[in-house]
Amino acid sequence: MTDASIDLRDYIRDVPDFPKPGILFRDITPLLKSPAAMSAVIDRLAAPFEGQNIEVVAAAEARGFIFAAPLAIRLNAAFVPIRKPGKLPFASHSLTYELEYGTDTVQMHVDGVAPMQRVLVLDDLLATGGTVDACCQLLEKCDAEIVGCAFVINLKGLGGEQRLKKYPLHSLLTYE
């Protein structure tokens, strides 16, 4: 099976009423079980960024890590994990951001990125864009240059594209 012949939608399972009633969850675990589909995902995520001198691929835990590490290798870039508080063992930069009900915080090591490094921010899914927006703000606080944001899935209509409109966005699958 060639990369072009793989329909990634065949590897996304719809789970109704998860994690609560009225939510249709897009489950990526069938995709993770297929080496051919995973390879296609990495190829397709990398394609628009090849030749753009990406120096760092950054991702928030946890599912973003699954795709970010192989993408970083593919782009010959570093991988920088962005984590929840208390998960990193070294001195960290932090950014607290607003949620619909409350706040959350993301952190990365102080030596995660250098000023003016070209960074691609990756997550498995774009919904409201809050986590990726916080990651971008944290990276920009360190004077990194955000080259773009990439996603396996974009849940259109939840506001993520609008929230991240100042960055080039690349998504493999879009669901209305």
Token digits of residue 151:
């996603």
Please tell me the total count of domains within the chain: 1
At 116, the pLDDT band (50, 70, 90 cuts) reads very high
129 is in which domain, residue-wise?
53-174
Please report, rounded to a whole number, the percentage of residues in the chain having pLDDT higher than 70.
Answer: 99
Closest CA to 42 of 83, 79, 82, 84: 79
CB 63 within 8 A of CB 125: yes
Whether 157 is covered by a domain: the verdict is yes
50: annotated active-site residue: no
Whether 42 is covered by a domain: the verdict is no
At 174, the pLDDT band (50, 70, 90 cuts) reads very high
Residue 128: its pLDDT value, please? 93
63: annotated active-site residue: yes
Q: What is the pLDDT of residues 49-95, one digit of tens each?
A: 999 999 999 999 999 999 999 999 999 999 999 999 999 999 999 99
Whether 45 is covered by a domain: the verdict is no
Sequence-ordered list of residues with C-beta below 8 angstroms from that of 155, at least 6 positions apart, any chain: 26, 125, 126, 127, 175
The single residue of 26, 61, 63, 161 carrying the catalytic annotation is 63
